[in-house]
Every structure is written in C-alpha cells, then in structure tokens.
Amino acid sequence: METRGGTPNHRAKITINDVARLANVSKKTVSRVINESPLVRQETREKVKAIIAEHGYAPDPQARALAFRRSFLVGMIYDNPSPQYVVNMQRGILDVLADTSFQLVLHPCERSEENFRQKIHTFVSQQKPLGVILPPSVSEDDALAEMLEELGCDYVRIASVELDKPSRMVRTHDAEGAAQAARHLASLGHEKIAHIHGLSTFRSAHERLAGFKAGLKEHGLTLQKKWTVEGAYTFDSGVQCAEKLIYSDARPTAIFTGNDEMAVGAYQAVRKAGLQVPEDISIVGFDDTPMASRVWPPMTTVRLPIREMGRAAASLLLMEPVEKAAAELVSFTPEIVVRDSAAPPKKV
C-alpha cells in the first residue's frame, strides 16, 4: 500500500495493521476497541477511535464475528451441590459483566468423574472464553489450574486458602467464620455442640471444621466424634445428618452446619421429631443465603459474601495485564449474623 510520510494513502484501503501502527498499539488492542472490550484504557480507546474515524477504517464483519466468539465469553466452571451458592455467585459475576460486551457461560461438572478435566478441556477449547471463574471445590484442583494454564485460558480461583498468585485468587477465610459460630454457641452456654460438615472432597469443609474446633477450644470445649457428621452440602443430607444426632443416645443442644442448605434440613429434622428451634436445639448455618432470613425462626448464620466474591473474581478476570501484575490478594472474612435460631440451652 502506498504511504506518504508514514501515513496511509487514502486511495488505498486501510488495514487493521495500519491502525495499530498509527496508534502505536498492538493489533489485538485495536480489535478490542472495535469490539467495545472493557480491557482497554479510555485514553487508548479514544486515540484508536480517532484514527479509525480519520482514515475510514471498516473492520471485516467475518473477522469481527470470529473475535467475538473467541473473546467475549466468561466461563464459570463449578461443582457445587448448593443451588443458592451457585445463583449468588452468578449474580456477582453478572454485576460486573452488565456494562460490558461479555456474556457468562456456565459449565457444571462432577469432580468425581474420571474424565472431568477432559470435559473441561473440551469446553474451553470449543468456547474459547476470555477466562473462567472457578468456585470451590473446582478451584482446589491444582491439576485443573495447570491444564488451563497450558491451554492459555486465564482463570480466577475462589478458595478458603491461598492457592495461587494474587491476580488469580479470591480468598475466603472460612476457618475464622466457623470459629465465630463456635464462640457464639459457647457464649450462650452450650456444651453439647454438634457439627454437620460438608463433603470431605471440599477444602472448605476441612477449613470450617478446623475453625469450629479452634473456636470451641477457646472456651475449653471439644467437638466430640459422636457429634461430628459428614453431610453433602444439600438439604436432604442436612435432614439425614440432623436425625442421626437427634435420635442418638446423647442429643446435642446445638448444631452448627457447614452451609445454610444443611441448616434448613436440620430445621426440618428437629420439627419432625416434635422439637423446636431454638428452644430444644439451636441451629447455626454458614453462607447467609436468602433462605436464612426467610425460614422461621430466622437463622443465625455466618455470612460469606458470595455475590461480592463473584464480583471480585470477574473484576480480576477483566483486568488489563499491567493491572494484574500489580494486583494484591483479594480476600473476604466471614462475619456471624445473629438472628433467632440460637438461644441458651434449656436448664435441666
């Protein structure tokens, strides 16, 4: 193409490479500006748009469509049995994507399946998302993170412990939240305290169990093995586990559950047994999902800001490379929300 003094001749058709050269940016940056990507600084965006307008550059529609398919999807890959957790996480991600051209695509999976990583490999290869967000327990799989790295797929992990560099990590201090639950029940005078924890394949379940034990220890109490039951983070497992505790030889006066789904299940088990919450058995949940304030009596629970966590993860994913290099670890510390499902034990 003919040029005069480094400027494209208007008689020739200007290309995306010409726009990039004139703006002193990469071809990828020009493509992002054309497709209204949020991953471009405002100053750079205006500069590129001015050059496009001046020289009348028109992008190839087919190339633009291809760029859209390759770049304008954000994935959420999850293996979480709690529907409310998944919904809240989605809402947080969508809050960030609302004013962008990005769309959220979901990929549920089963970590217990032998080929679960291969399925994710296929998903990423076919969808070619900008990146993916990994809530627990998928986030805890280091081999999966390594595979995504090899595929060139950016990701952000949400986990109860620090597993990755700050630009790829949102940390939740689950142990501290569980310790707060233990302190609350102990301060009410409970000594016969049980815990229904989540699946052992979840790192968060171990963190919450350890934190709960630590909180009880501060008050001279010990979580006895007979009052420790494994659930599955589901309503049904909450019912079943609570029934085991209620009909045991030594019934506890309080139950702390690993999430609100199991706590609501425990509510039902208590009522089916002809007992009342909190008069006969106090119940404390974890997550502070909407159901916690809708059951009766309203549930005391540990608030984990799931929606805010989703926002933080999406914001990290959409950061420009320069910002990611300087990113500091984002973390959330749970707080107990005291309502009416926990009270002092009955005096014998």
Q: Say yes or no to pLDDT of 3 above 50.
A: no
CB 25 within 8 A of CB 44: yes
Number of Cβ within 10 Å of residue 135's Cβ equals: 27
pLDDT at 63: 53
The pLDDT tens digits of the residues spanning 16-28 come to 888 889 999 988 8
Q: Say yes or no to pLDDT of 69 above 50.
A: no
Round to whole Å and give the CA distance between 144 and 123. Answer: 13
pLDDT at 60: 62
Assess if CATH 3.40.50.2300 describes domain 71-173+306-334. Answer: yes
Q: What is the mean pLDDT of residues 288-310?
A: 94
Residue type at position 334:
P
pLDDT at 94: 96
pLDDT at 12: 60
Q: Say yes or no to pLDDT of 33 above 90.
A: no
Q: Say yes or no to pLDDT of 1 above 80.
A: no
Residue type at position 269:
A
Parts of the chain belonging to CATH 3.40.50.2300: 71-173+306-334, 175-303
Q: Say yes or no to pLDDT of 71 above 60.
A: no
Q: Say yes or no to pLDDT of 2 above 60.
A: no
What are the CB-based long-range contacts (under 8 Å, 24+) for 168-171? 168/316, 169/329, 169/330, 170/309, 170/312, 170/313, 170/316, 170/330, 170/331, 170/332, 171/329, 171/330, 171/331, 171/332
Residue type at position 185:
L
Parts of the chain belonging to CATH 1.10.260.40: 3-67
pLDDT at 269: 98
Q: What is the mean pLDDT of residues 81-91?
A: 88
Q: What is the mean pLDDT of residues 110-116?
A: 87
Q: What is the mean pLDDT of residues 107-112?
A: 88
Q: Say yes or no to pLDDT of 8 above 80.
A: no
Q: What is the mean pLDDT of residues 263-278?
A: 97
Q: What is the mean pLDDT of residues 272-287?
A: 97
pLDDT at 16: 85
Percent of the chain with pLDDT over 90: 64
pLDDT at 335: 95
Q: Say yes or no to pLDDT of 196 above 90.
A: yes
Q: What is the mean pLDDT of residues 60-83?
A: 69
Assess if CATH 3.40.50.150 describes domain 3-67. Answer: no
| Six-digit token string for 180 | 């707060």
CA neighbor of 233 nearest in space, from 264, 254, 212, 255: 264
Q: Say yes or no to pLDDT of 6 above 90.
A: no
Q: What is the mean pLDDT of residues 57-61?
A: 69
Mean residue pLDDT across the chain: 89
Consecutive H or E run containing 285? strand 282-287
Round to whole Å and give the CA distance between 321 and 319. Answer: 6
Token pair 């001279």 is found at 220
Q: Say yes or no to pLDDT of 285 above 80.
A: yes
Indicate the fold that domain 175-303 takes in CATH.
Rossmann fold (3.40.50)
CB 169 within 8 A of CB 331: no
Angle between helical axes of 260-272 and 83-97 (0-180°, round to 10): 150
The pLDDT tens digits of the residues spanning 330-342 come to 999 999 999 999 9
